[in-house]
Chain A
């Protein structure tokens, strides 16, 4: 495997929660990303999957420094990007680009497609004169499957799938090495998702791109990724090559996630065993002690789970590229430990007091009150 293009080392992003009318007091933190380490090799697609509140989007943004990391390192092509400032950072940004989730709001409604694409190119000194630029424009829209006429049009004249293609063209125009795609197809209709996924795969093959794909849909992520990382409440709980993760899910959360996904096959649906999790996600402002998942884990044991936070490690007998953060992974895998029913937690003490935060919020945004 080639050298890692992107290395994330023990990254943490903690958002302060401020309350108060006159003076903003910091009353707590949302531990959105709480110690994540991963690496992505050149030419590879790494899929980051998890449900709301797991921190995957925040991690994606922190990698691009759209959000400032609280601690830890992000190494891009060997260089630590944290100390970069101003012009240096701006120039570095050419090499990693983002494709956003919502094709409606991520494009400037007042700019034509051509203008948006030229903007990026000019900003990074890639403009080579009117003729060369025009040729490059045509090449870009063609690469994403749009007609040349699209250049003159404005975002509102396109459908969702087409706008997403424009977003991809925009990311490509500065010739980046890495593209972080945050939920690239979740806002699209099912029949259009396939078109965009195929496009992303084709572009990777043709241009040698590296992708970090962030999504909540495990089927989508598995389809496009070489390796997958599963996140829960700010931490990486399992990481494996895609097929491996599906064939041999080792972490209880991954198993629950896989069993929850509906499959369009009635026979399979009738037969399969569902591992239903009880209750809701704990608040990312007050994550459980020890293993973050222990409060809902059907395989929770009386020892270690509530006190020690498990590290990512390789289980004996499994693929060496497969890491899992669970104290009891071996015994769960062998079937020695059976799942048991978990009682849902009743409203825990809210560290923030009576500030109207939901006791069992569904996402970071709910806790931050935005």
Chain B
């Protein structure tokens, strides 16, 4: 089965006159099969959001240098004329963002924001679109959907707004949905509702989902394959049971051990990862994580680790955690 989305060697650099480039995404490659749920995990500054914006061609035209390839169903998105891209966006591929209040137009009622998508991409008339919009709001669990069509975003709670955003994103039954931190701004019980909803809808419609988050718990529950990003590169990729069961990259390993967990004994000190992202080295001639890595060797600060694939796992490390150790 050929992949629905293929990202190859994506590199995104932000340029400023007189300053060296800031490389946000530094050679990211991954695939998403039809109907698959893939996770992109990392902390702030790792490049996950910029990756998603690059895929959707939502980065500004000026000041950005984009190289590599992003293929959607055989079409190269990076060289597509903007008019064609606009047709794809919203219909074949769509996105759900982190902060629903700033992603929804505050001066337009929610209903109109849904019907806009339906009329633009499915050519629906005004009344049929309104009926469909009410249906969609109902499907995402918004109570009293007919009345809600005329509500403004600020009249809805955070959870409701996120549901509305999901309704807009899925209105045209896209084949790919990218969700960038869709529940970070929400309370945990609301988060559980939204993730459950997202999971259900994605299964029902067969939409592929790219889930971008810093929360490893969310990923463990939802994503079949998980990509761990650090400083703009994927440092480990594996199917979720393998990744969580035997994390082999020291960053993944360290991250999992530093999180306070409900199912672990309380009170012992957490195994924190030392230093901060300010200590990173450039990938060009070293491993970015080396200064913070408890397993770093001399080689790590001199030679870039190449990605190696073995047994379905991708690993970018000179000295990974041995497979037999937990």
Does A274 touch B at the CB level, under 8 Å?
A: yes
Return the CB mask of B216-244 against A: 1 if under 8 Å, else 0: 11111100000000000000000011001
Stretch at the interface among B3-11, B188-196, B280-288: B188-196
A51, B187: Cβ atoms closer than 8 Å: yes
Q: Are B241 and A267 in contact (CB under 8 A)?
A: yes
Q: Is the CB of B244 within 8 A of A52?
A: no
- DSSP class of B's interface residues: helix, strand, loop or mixed? helix
The smallest beta-carbon distance between A28 and chain B, in angstroms, is 17
Do A246 and B262 form a contact, CB below 8 Å, given A262-B217, A346-B143? yes
* Contact call B215/A262, Cβ cutoff below 8 A: yes
Residues of A near B258 (CB, < 8 A) are: 190-191, 193-194
B192 touching A274, Cβ below 8 Å: yes
Query: Looking at B160, B189, B214, B220, which has the most chain A CB atoms within 10 Å of its CB?
Result: B189
Can you sample 11 A-B contacts with CB below 8 Å?
A159-B277, A194-B258, A197-B260, A197-B270, A222-B262, A262-B220, A262-B221, A263-B217, A344-B143, A356-B155, A361-B157
Measured in the bound complex, the distance between the Cα atoms of B270 and A234 in whole Å is 32
Q: List the A residue with the shortest CB-CB distance to B257.
A: A194
A159-B278, A261-B188 as given contacts; A194 in contact with B263, CB under 8 Å:
no
Could you tell me if A189 and B259 are in contact, using CB atoms closer than 8 angstroms?
A: no
Q: How far is the CB of A334 from chain B (nearest CB, A)?
A: 23
Q: A256-B189, A260-B189, A266-B241 are in contact. Are A358 and B259 (CB under 8 A)?
A: no
**Given A159-B276, A190-B258, A262-B220, residue A223 in contact with residue B267 (CB < 8 A):** yes
B:177-214 near A, CB below 8 Å:
186-193, 195-196, 214
- Judged by a CB distance under 8 angstroms, whether A84 is at the interface is no
Q: Which chain B residue shows the least CB distance to A196?
A: B272
CB within 8 Å of A: which residues of B?
43-44, 141, 143-144, 147, 154-160, 186-193, 195-196, 214-221, 240-241, 244-245, 254-256, 258-263, 266-267, 269-274, 276-278
The CA of A218 and the CA of B147, in the complex, are separated in Å by: 36
- On chain A, the residues within 8 Å of B141 by CB distance are 344
- In the A-B complex, list the 9 residue pairs whose CB atoms are closest, starting with the nearest: A262-B217, A260-B192, A194-B272, A223-B260, A51-B187, A194-B258, A269-B221, A194-B270, A264-B216
Give the distance in Å from the alpha carbon of A156 to the alpha carbon of B189 in the complex.
35
Among B160, B216, B271, B276: residue with most chain A CB under 10 A: B276
Q: B276 contacts A161, CB within 8 Å?
A: yes
> Which of A96-104, A107-115, A276-284 binds B?
A276-284
A243–B266 CB distance below 8 A: yes
Given known pairs A219-B262, A266-B244, the reply for A276 and B44 (CB within 8 Å) is no
Q: Report the Cα distance A270→B222, complex, angstroms.
A: 9
Residues of A within 8 A of B267 (CB): 223
Instruction: List, in ascending order, chain B residues with CB within 8 A of A345's CB.
Output: 143
A123: interface (CB < 8 Å):
no
Would you call A258 an interface residue if the criterion is a C-beta within 8 Å of the partner chain's C-beta atoms?
Answer: yes
Interchain CB contact under 8 A, B272 and A191: yes
Which positions in A face B, CB cutoff 8 Å? 51-52, 159, 161-162, 189-195, 197-198, 201, 216-220, 222-223, 242-243, 246, 256-270, 274, 276-281, 344-347, 356, 358-362, 366
- Partner pick for A265 among B43, B158, B193, B263, CB 8 A cutoff: B263
How far is it, in angstroms, between the C-alpha of A243 and the C-alpha of B43 when the chains are bound?
Answer: 29
Complex-state Cα separation, A238 to B156, whole angstroms? 29
Are B189 and A51 neighbours in the complex by a CB distance under 8 Å?
Answer: yes
Complex-state Cα separation, A278 to B193, whole angstroms = 8
Cβ–Cβ contact B157 & A263, under 8 A: no
In whole angstroms, what is the CA distance A61 to B127 when docked?
A: 51
A317, chain B: closest CB distance, angstroms: 24
CA A195 – CA B274 in complex, angstroms?
A: 8
Asked, given contacts A190-B255, A260-B189, whether A222 binds B260 with beta carbons under 8 Å apart, the answer is: yes
Name the B residues within 8 Å of A265 (CB-CB): 220, 244, 261, 263
Complex CA gap A193/B190 in Å reads: 23
Taking CB atoms, residues of chain B closer than 8 Å to A218 are 188, 262
- Asked whether B189 lies within 8 Å of A257 as measured between CB atoms, the reply is yes
Contacts A190-B214, A261-B262 given; does A362 touch B187 at CB 8 Å: yes
Decide: A264 near B244, CB < 8 A? Known: A190-B255, A197-B260, A274-B196: yes
**Residues of the B chain whose Cβ atoms lie less than 8 Å from the Cβ of A260:** 188-189, 191-192
Residues of B within 8 A of A264 (CB): 216-217, 219-220, 244, 256, 259, 261
